[in-house]
Amino acid sequence: MVDSEEVGDEVHVSVSESHLDFSNPSTVEWLKRIGLWEQQTMEGPPLKRRRLGWDVPDPLLLSEAARLQLHLASQLLQVYPSLASGQDKQAVDSCIVHSDSLCVDTEKLCKADARKLQNGPGDQCFAVNSPSPPFHKDDQDGHLNFIVGESLTSRYKILQKIGEGTFGRVLECWDQEAEEVVAIKVVRSAEKYREAAMIEIDVLHTLAEEDRSGSRGCVQMRRWFDYRNHECIVFERLGPSLYDFLRANEYSPFSIDLVQDFGRQLLESIAYMHNLNLIHTDLKPENVLLVSSDYVKVVDRKNTLMHSVQMRRLPKSNRIKLIDFGSTTYDRECSFSTLSTRHYRAPEVILGSGWSYPCDIWSVACIMVELCSGEVLFQTHENLEHLAMMERVFGPIPSYLVRRSKGKAYKYFRHERTLNWPDRHTTRESIRAVERLSELRDLLGKHLEKVPSALLSLLERMFCYDPLNRLTAREALQHPFFQEFSRH
């Protein structure tokens, strides 16, 4: 049992024999589910990459508040003995109301120590926040259910949902301790998403170690914690993504000056990552955020008619930051697997010939074309059609690249030379989609009054089919297109 005695404002707790078996993963999982076991780290990365297991601390190493947390758990265990096995899920759900009532008493006991953090094994930090926020079951997909205005632990008050994706949800929250607005990525409770979150946490820590000032253009992680089986990553609050800004402007393209600035910043961030042996692998406008949400409205002269004035938004600040490192990998871990969002996927990924740093450069080039045109360059969802679109814009894929795939790409080609498109399965819609495309110069010319030769030269070298001959991020930054920009 965990015995407690209150003397004035101080609480004295002695830990003797407990009903809880801390070596039982089911018991720990139950504690996490009802919100009485919370892990939080402010400084370091996870103990090991790809590790999801909990380091169960010796109760003697816990802070006073954490011991009281175990006292509360022991009380619940006496009321619901079947919880010890972690198998009686009905009992787990039934005890939530009881746990909330016990938390009221615990809040008084923990008053002097509720914010205290105590390092446990492996430099992990264990914290207790009382009372526990209301419990909501996850939805059927493992997303955290929440109500605006409630708390995510006692520290963060939920203001609104600002995003949702395959990985989970992003909530805008008020950090009551730091007194600032933050964005919290709440990852789905499924194991594969929790694993990806731990990888992202490790990458974010690596990026931050070499960039204390936050000047390298990668989003900064404030801290991370586990909340009711959801990995939660706290970020600085940024503005909208470049995709959201384009959409708000009805997909009216950015000016060439902004494309230069965004492209330069993006390549600087990628060069920084590549220097750390990191490959992002999922670059797209949705993962590039403006630092500020502020904008001004100006007359859109290109789309303004004689009797109708069209307005468009311009960001007040051009600063951007790169986000979403859940798919980021170290160079030593590169494989032949498929990666990145379809529209920004490099040819070597589709051909199965192996990928590395150059796949990020191809994605950046796709983003720059999209910023110039307001349209996705390769709007496709199928490999053969995707390759046909590439050939329409850049010409035939060299046969030696097909052979480099060691047979994986042969199904897309006749005699390893000619793309097998259209084939008997190709639809009319697919043919029309490919034929709508044209050479890169002509595509850009539809949206730019004059296509800068330096821009065309840069993109052609970033879109090189052979990843071995494609520009690196550092080489691209030395290209005349960005040198001209730096003199403006």
Active site residue ranges: 282
Backbone phi, then psi, for 436, in 5-degree steps?
Answer: -70, -20
Cis amide bond preceding 131, omega within 30: yes
322 closest CA partner among 207, 225, 210, 234:
207
**Residue 392 exposure: Cα atoms within 13 Å on the Cβ side:** 21
For residue 273, what are the contacts with CB-CB under 8 A and spacing of at least 6?
Answer: 207, 218, 279, 280, 328, 360
CB atoms within 10 A of CB 220: 17
Q: Are 206 and 45 in contact (CB under 8 A)?
A: yes
* Residue 346 CB neighbours (<10 A): 25
Cα within 13 Å of Cα(83), Cβ side: 27
Consult the annotation and say whether 185 binds a ligand: yes
* Three-state secondary structure string covering the chain: CEEEEEECCEEEEEECCCCCCCCCHHHHHHHHHCCCCCEEECCCCCCCCCCCCCCCCCHHHCCHHHHHHHHHHHHHHHHCHHHHHCCCHHHHHHHHHHHHHHHHHHHHHCCCCCCCCEECHHHCEECCCCCCCCCCCCCCCCCCCCCCCCEECCCEEEEEEEEECCCEEEEEEEECCCCEEEEEEEECCCHHHHHHHHHHHHHHHHHHHCCCCCCCCECCEEEEEEECCEEEEEEECCCCEHHHHHHHCCCCCCCHHHHHHHHHHHHHHHHHHHHCCEECCCCCHHHEEECCCCEEEEECCCCCECCECCEEEEECCCCEEECCCCCCEEHHHCCCCCCCCHHHCCHHHHHCCCCCCHHHHHHHHHHHHHHHHCCCCCCCCCHHHHHHHHHHHHCCCCHHHHHHCCCCCHHHEECCCEECCCCCCCCHHHHHHHHCCCCHHHHHHCCCCCCCHHHHHHHHHHCCCCCCCCCCHHHHHCCHHHHHHHCC
Binding region for ATP: 185
Binding region: 185
